[in-house]
Amino acid sequence: MDSKFGKILLDNSDVIIQKWIDEIEMLNGFNYSDSVSDELLESTNREFVNIIFSSIKDEGDTKRLKEFSEKLINLGWKVSYITDGLQVFRRVSIDFILQQSDQIDTSYISDLLQSVDEWIEPLIRQLVNEFSGNWENILSLQRVALQELSAPLIPVMDNITVMPLVGTIDTERAKLIMENLLEGVMNHNSEVVLIDITGVPVVDTMVAHHIIQAAEAVRLVGSTCILVGIRPEIAQTIVNLGIDLSKFPTKSSLRKGFIKALELTDRKIISTEEKDTSIEQMIESLGRE
């Protein structure tokens, strides 16, 4: 039964291909005309329709299909190109076969729909799988990349470590911050750790809670945590929220925090040139703030 319809399509492949290409070009005209050259669009359409026909001939070449989908993914085409294309093919071929048929009854139509589905469905399934597999791959790579960036620890000097935080802190990241902080304190033997929240857009009670917990944990292992990079608007919201951050030192900038950290580890910045004593005094006075 299937081969009967398949034969009609194959015998008239030129007509159907032309119809399909006409329709698809009209459709793609709206979507791709800006970003893709006409030649590329045409050659891709040709390749696509050939793949559909080879699937009808029952020589479903998965390798060729894979190459085709990889090409589309690399070009950054939308998955709707594939779904639209196959949808149009379904419509065109059904229209064509119905026109060619003399007697049409319900079982004929249901057979026709079924066999067209049998050609189209595996193609949709595989192509969409390729696309979504690609997205999942990108997503997991980005998740790993994000996690690597989420709680970096920089040992700037003996006994002093800095953790710059940029971006939103969610529960998962808060855990990672705590773990990395404690691990870093142990591994680098830090006496002082500076947490820089300059790049954290919103400090709500959850973020504050996690920072307080992290600082408390750092205190328990015998080190000091200094919270730096508190912008004026963040300071105001913290006060409005009524969050008590008085258990550990806080500074407005990393620079001030670093000087405080040097103080806590009994060190200070000394200029090597004699004539720069004025700068030294300035830095010292800053440290006393």
Partner 1 sequence: MAPKFCVDIKQEWDIVKARQLGRDRAREIGFGTVDQARLATAISELARNIYLYADSGKICFEITDETDRKGICVISLDTGPGIQNISRVMEDGYSTSGGLGAGLPGVKRLVDQFDIQSEEEKGTEIRVIKWLR
**What three-state secondary structure class fits 165?**
strand
CB of 216 to partner 1, least distance (A): 13
Stretch that binds partner 1, among 106-114, 134-142, 219-227, 241-249 (CB under 8 A): 241-249
Contact pick of 74, 106, 107, 171 for partner 1 (by CB under 8 A): 171
- Looking at beta carbons only, is 73 or 217 nearer to partner 1? 217
Quote the radius of gyration of the chain (alpha carbons, Å). 33
Task: Find the shortest distance in angstroms from Cβ 132 to partner 1.
Answer: 20
Question: What is the smallest separation between the CB atom of 241 and partner 1, expressed in angstroms?
Answer: 3
179 binds partner 1 (CB under 8 A): no
Binding-residue pattern over the window 188 to 227 for partner 1, x denoting contact by CB under 8 A:
-------------xxxxxx-xx--x---------------
Quote the least distance from Cβ 149 to partner 1, whole Å. 16
Please, what's the b/e burial string for 195-231 (b: 16 or more CB within 10 A of its CB; e: otherwise)?
A: bbbeebeebeeebbebbbebbebbeeeebbbbbbbbe
49, 127, 215, 234: residue in contact with partner 1 (rule CB under 8 A): 234
- Contact yes or no for 193/185 (Cβ under 8 A): yes
Count Cβ atoms within 10 A of the Cβ of residue 81 and give its class: 0-12 exposed, 13-18 middle, 19 or more buried: buried
- CB of residue 233 vs partner 1: minimum separation in angstroms? 4
Task: Pick the piece of the chain touching partner 1 (CB under 8 A) from 56-64, 73-81, 144-152, 235-243.
Answer: 235-243
Which listed residue (232, 274, 278, 288) binds partner 1 by CB under 8 A?
232
- In the block, which residue shows the tokens 């791709």? 32
Alpha carbon dihedral 205, 207, 212, 218, in 10-degree steps, equals: 170
Choose among 239, 248, 172: nearest CA to 212.
Answer: 248
Sign of CA dihedral 85, 89, 92, 94: negative
Choice between 170 and 276, CB closer to partner 1: 170
Pick from 114, 140, 168, 281 the residue near partner 1 by CB under 8 A.
168
Residue 92 near residue 23, CB atoms below 8 Å: yes
Task: Decide if residue 241 touches partner 1 (CB under 8 A).
Answer: yes
Q: How many residues bind partner 1 (CB under 8 A)?
A: 21
Judged by beta carbon, residue 102 or residue 244, the one nearer partner 1 is 244
**Least distance (Å) between residue 211 CB and partner 1:** 11
Residue placing its CB nearer to partner 1 in the complex, 67 or 135: 135
Which residues have C-beta within 8 Å of that of residue 177, sequence separation ≥ 6?
150, 151, 163, 165, 169, 195, 210, 214
Backbone φ and ψ for 157, nearest 5 degrees, come out as -150, 175
| Helix boundaries (H) for 37-105 | 38-56, 62-75, 79-100
| Residues forming the site for partner 1 (CB under 8 A) | 168, 170-171, 201-206, 208-209, 212, 232-234, 236-237, 240-243
